[in-house]
Amino acid sequence: MQNIGITKQITQEQKRSLAQICYEAFSKKFAVFLLFDDDADRCAACLVDCINYENCLCAVFGEDILGFAGLDHGKKRFKHFTYRALRKHYGFWGGMGRALSNALFGAFFENVKKGCLHIDAVAVSEQARGKGVGTLLMEASFDEARRLGFQKASLEVINTNPRAQQLYEKLGFVVEKVQQSGRFTQTAGFTSSAYMVKKL
């Protein structure tokens, strides 16, 4: 823990590692309704072009990326699935369909609220789990929120991940609402998500 740093400045190689960690953590979502693709290499390559690294806090040990927190606030988002980036990896029609799908999905799950920094994703590499990296990234996210002038932080946790919800509750988050998604997200492994908020 003592030698783990938090940074936004990472190399191109580290960006590829971050994208791989992101894919591995949320592979079902990418396969079912974000990229409609279960090809790990292609998804990770696409993610390299679809992540806004300015909105990432990265946990690093030497040159290794151990994990990241992806943040949303205002119009600045962690992920931006632009048609241009999607077309590069999936062609004209494949890019078009995925861009439209992500626009609809984003509107359905829009949870970025004024005065609140939204923690879109927190993921830790498999070899670094259980070492406090996730908690370190959460604390860094709170510091970033305060630095930007936010009074609250928010996140979502799916109903099939109760251990994560328990961790967030220990960090001071409380459930503000539960959003039912039913069959729309069932194949991705969940049917509802809890929107949680923490006062800073």
Lowest mean pLDDT among 20-24, 31-35, 90-94: 31-35
Across 92-126, b (16+ Cβ under 10 Å) vs e yields eeebeebbebbeebeeeeebbeeebbbbbbbbbbe
- Cα distance between the two ends of the chain: 24
Count up the domains in the chain and report the number. Answer: 1
pLDDT tens column, 130-140: 889 999 999 99
Position 184 pLDDT exceeds 70: no
Average of pLDDT values for 163-167? 90
What's the CATH number where 21 sits? 3.40.630.30
Position 1 pLDDT exceeds 70: no
Position 65 pLDDT exceeds 90: yes
Where would I find the H helices in 55-200? 83-108, 133-147, 162-170, 183-186
pLDDT tens column, 107-161: 556 666 778 999 999 999 999 998 899 999 999 999 999 999 999 999 999 888 8
Range of 138's domain?
Answer: 5-199
Distance CA 34, CA 100 (A): 10
Say what the pTM is: 0.90
